[in-house]
Amino acid sequence: MIYRRFRLPPSHRTATTQWVQVSFILFYFAIAIVALNSLITHFTTAMPGVLSIQPSNQIQPSEFDIFYWNLWWVRHAVFDLHVSPLVTNYVIYPFVSPLAGHTLALFWGLISAPFQVVFGMIPTFNGIVVVSFVAAATLMYIFVRRHVAHQSAAFLAGLIFAFTPAMIHRASVGHLDKISIFWLPLSLLLWDKVLQSRRWTWAVTLGVCIWLSWLTDFQQTMWVMLLLVPYVFYTTLIEPRGHQDTKPVKKLDTFVSPALRLLAGLWLIVLVLIAFIIPSLFAPLPQLLEANRLNYPPAQMEDTAYFAFPLQNFLAPGDNGDFSIGVLLPVLTLISIPFIRRDGKRWLWFIIAAGCFLLALGPYIDLGSIRIPLPYALVHQLLGNQYRTPMRFATPGVFALTMLVALTLDRVLINIQPLRTNVKFQTLLVGLLSLLFILDYRLLQSFPITLMPDYQIYHTLAAEPDNSAVLELPIGVRTGFAVIGRGEYLQYYQPIHQRPIPTGYLSRLPGEITDYFYNDSLLGALTLSHALPSQAEVDAALGNLIRDWNIGYVILHRDMLEPGRIKSFGNLLDRQPALERIGEEGPLVIYRAKTP
């Protein structure tokens, strides 16, 4: 048996073929424009999702503010302050908060830095959203194309994987880290290159790619590993012949023993691990280990069950958002299963998909009075009880299902005579399936957006030379586990004024920080957790806070308070001797700290 290295199937790479590939990419771009419709038409002014500024304790459905702030903070810390972006006291000031466990999306902050300066924050943010979808679809197409004979099957795979309702929903809440799923096909594509070339350079490239996925979000790395580990095992041991090579096979390869092939594969794997681990030892691993020593509140098992993937949400939106995968993909999966037969590659992707969706179901299933534990319960413990959303394991599951469907479709196009010889029929079939997926994924629906008010006061503060803090009232402090007060989304304005603020939203915070904002008599009142203390006590405490925290301005947001609170907070600020009222702007009342 002649062993041939993993290689792209034979194809005529003519100029026409290349133009077809370019047209596929342009089509993905067009689909992204259609799916993100409202965001595209307000590309330079709107943010994705719905954010309502109102006097309510309702949790905001969109979280674009946190990732918008992430982009700016990484650039500001690295290129302006020349400090590590993995720690900050600019939000939830004056506390110093580690960001290694926060959804910082460090990769995007670094990559987008020049674009922030040239094009501005909002276009850069929205550009990342568009690029993420197009990159995911394109790289999925390139990866699948290596494993199928028909470009049309690979094209459909890119559409299926990148534009699921779950990913559109992630985009609609501003989750730049979750929509960066292009790391999944890219990592597997690089492993194909490792096997094809047997060169250390490709192994190192793959290791660096996995590290960069971690800098985007730990979940991306976890998803990559769920796919890459079994894929490496399969292509190294179970399917040593891989695809036929377009180049002649050297005679020496004919006599290479399985043991030597295994050793060569293991050596490449070791290089990948080394290239991943070495940069991780600089960031973010040591910072994450240090952060984990803090008092992060754990996610209870019941909490993870709330964020599990109910079976009915495979097909339809749930109460927590639309994390479904549509109807057509499960239907095509069921149709594909009887045709797997002895196809090891399709069995591989089916098994991976089953495992991922099993994890997505959460820690247990209740059948009447019987509670059946599931594998996620063990994963939750291995991750230090910090990972509370098992439904996210559906993402690599969708990748695996997409591969299963694409490989089956390719066999159909090969084995059915009218489709095998008639390109028009092939195009018609894939075009019809593409249209059905667009409808099934509801990509024609209006994409939600928010136009945030642009207040001149923040630009005025940016022009002043000092770096005193801004106290925005009410104070809002939010983590992935708790919400104290209102207005945590006001960190959206920090990239404009660039001053520290007590308000903010970080996905992980030590419990003592949130406890302090809740239990302190003054801060508890300013977060609306408790009533204002007596006049003498609150006046003295506010004066001390202004002095000790170096507060330069206080901004009262009347649109976030009920009428009674507007009056009481206004009276508190008006009689404070350390403040002077300098004006109003819309719902804002602006106070400046007097110079001592």
Q: Any bridge partners for residue 380, and if so which?
A: none
Looking at the predicted structure, is the pLDDT value of residue 206 above 90?
A: yes
Strands 364-367 vs 483-485: parallel, antiparallel or unpaired: unpaired
- Which own/partner pairs from 338-341 qualify as long-range (CB within 8 Å, at least 24 positions apart)? 339/408, 339/411, 340/404, 340/408
Q: What gap in Å lies between CA 173 and CA 175, rounded to an integer? A: 6
pLDDT tens profile 28-69: 999 999 999 999 999 999 999 999 999 998 888 899 999 999
Q: Are 171 and 165 in contact (CB under 8 A)?
A: no
Q: In this structure, how many other beta carbons lie within 10 angstroms of the beta carbon of residue 397?
A: 25
pTM of the model: 0.92
pLDDT tens for 330-385 read 999 999 999 998 899 999 999 999 999 999 999 988 888 888 899 998 988 888 88
More confident residue, 12 or 437: 437
Q: Which of 494, 497, 496 is nearest to 505 (CA)?
A: 494
pLDDT digits (tens, 9 = 90+) for 114-129: 999 999 999 999 999 9
Average pLDDT over residues 194-213: 96
Q: Distance between CA atoms of 174 and 178, rounded to whole angstroms?
A: 9
pLDDT of residue 324: 86
- How high is the pLDDT of residue 259? 66
On whether the CB atoms of residues 42 and 451 are closer than 8 A, the answer is yes
Strand partners, 485: 476
Q: State both tokens at 529.
A: 């957790």
> Residue 14 — pLDDT band, cuts 50, 70, 90?
low
**Range ranked top by mean pLDDT from 112-121, 251-260, 317-326:** 112-121
pLDDT at res. 496: 97
Token pair 């009689």 in the structure block, residue: 575
Confidence band for 2, pLDDT divided at 50, 70 and 90? very low
Q: What phi and psi values does residue 483 have, to the nearest 5 degrees?
A: -130, 125
β 469-473/551-557 pair status: parallel
Query: From its phi and psi, is residue 161 left (phi > 0), alpha (psi between -120 and 50) or beta?
Result: alpha
